[in-house]
Amino acid sequence: MATKYSRQREQIKAYLYSCKDHPTADNVYSAMRRQFPNISLGTVYRNLTLLARQGEITKLSLGDGGDRFDYDTSPHYHFVCRQCGSVTDFPLAADELSSSFTNLSFDGKIEGQVTYFYGICASCLHNAGPGEK
């Protein structure tokens, strides 16, 4: 259970911290193969899961496609483009949403909330103009 050092995990973390986007496990795998040609996809998954469990990164389950991973663990929201699939940070302060439900009649223990927005991103909106695909 004690976590030992591993070059692979170190690089995975470094890669995530260098990313503005929100890569999938497969994106990370592709990037890692440049440095570790023999790295296994399982290794990528294991380390992403471990890092997420330790709170060093966040795992995003945004419906379609694979899960994504975010180096930014501060509370914030995301926007998913229905057309190109891109995931970007959403400029809405996290607690603008999450504050209102403190005293409602719910009998279970509320631990958290998942919220994301979807639609068409700016880039796809502009490219759609003159009828191109």
Positions that interact with DNA (CB under 7 A):
1-9, 24-26, 36, 38-43, 45-47, 49-50, 65-67
**Cα gap 97→11, rounded to integer Å:** 34
Least spacing, CB of residue 96 vs a copy of itself, in Å: 6
- Which residue ranges make up the site for a copy of itself (CB under 8 A)? 61-64, 79, 81-82, 90-92, 96-97, 100-101, 104-122, 124-125
Least spacing, CB of residue 65 vs DNA, in Å: 5
108 binds, among DNA, a copy of itself, none (CB under 5 to 8 A by kind): a copy of itself
Residue of 65, 89, 71, 70 whose CA lies nearest to 79: 89
CB closer to DNA out of 66 and 119: 66
Torsion angle of the four alpha carbons 23, 115, 123, 125, in this order, in degrees rounded to the nearest 10: 150
Rg (CA), the chain: 18
Query: Do β-strands 77-81 and 87-90 pair in parallel, antiparallel, or remain unpaired?
Result: antiparallel
Coil/strand/helix, residue 10 = helix
Q: Which two tokens stand for residue 91?
A: 């400029």
40 binds, among a copy of itself, DNA, none (CB under 5 to 8 A by kind): DNA
Least spacing, CB of residue 6 vs DNA, in Å: 3
